[in-house]
């Protein structure tokens, strides 16, 4: 697998998980529990931006491991 494909796959997977989590939260927290949308965005929504960031970080780690540049001590 090409190094570029690894980063792109990680980003796509992170965005996919972000979308799923946002949809579930909007249905449960905002619609069912009547949580105000702005409160949701401040409390939970912004933290979900970490999902694609972590996925890209893991993808970069895999890329480095495959390239053999990680220290194995």
Mean pLDDT of 42-66: 84
Q: Model-level pTM?
A: 0.68
Mean pLDDT of 32-50: 84
Supply the range of the domain harboring residue 25: 3-67
> Is 73 domain-assigned?
no
Evaluate if residue 3 carries a pLDDT over 70.
Answer: no
> Is 40 domain-assigned?
yes
- The total domain count for the chain is 1
pLDDT bin (cut points 50, 70, 90) of residue 39 is: confident
> Is 29 domain-assigned?
yes
The rounded distance, in Å, linking the Cα atoms of 56 and 7 is 6
The rounded distance, in Å, linking the Cα atoms of 57 and 44 is 21
């Amino acid at each position: 697998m090409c190094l570029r494909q690894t980063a792109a796959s990680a980003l796509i997977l992170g965005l996919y998980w972000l979308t799923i989590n946002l949809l579930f939260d909007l249905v449960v927290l905002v619609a069912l529990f009547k949580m105000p949308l702005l409160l949701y965005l401040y409390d939970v929504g912004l933290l979900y931006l970490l999902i694609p960031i972590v996925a890209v970080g893991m993808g970069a780690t895999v890329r480095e491991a495959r390239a053999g540049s990680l220290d194995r001590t």
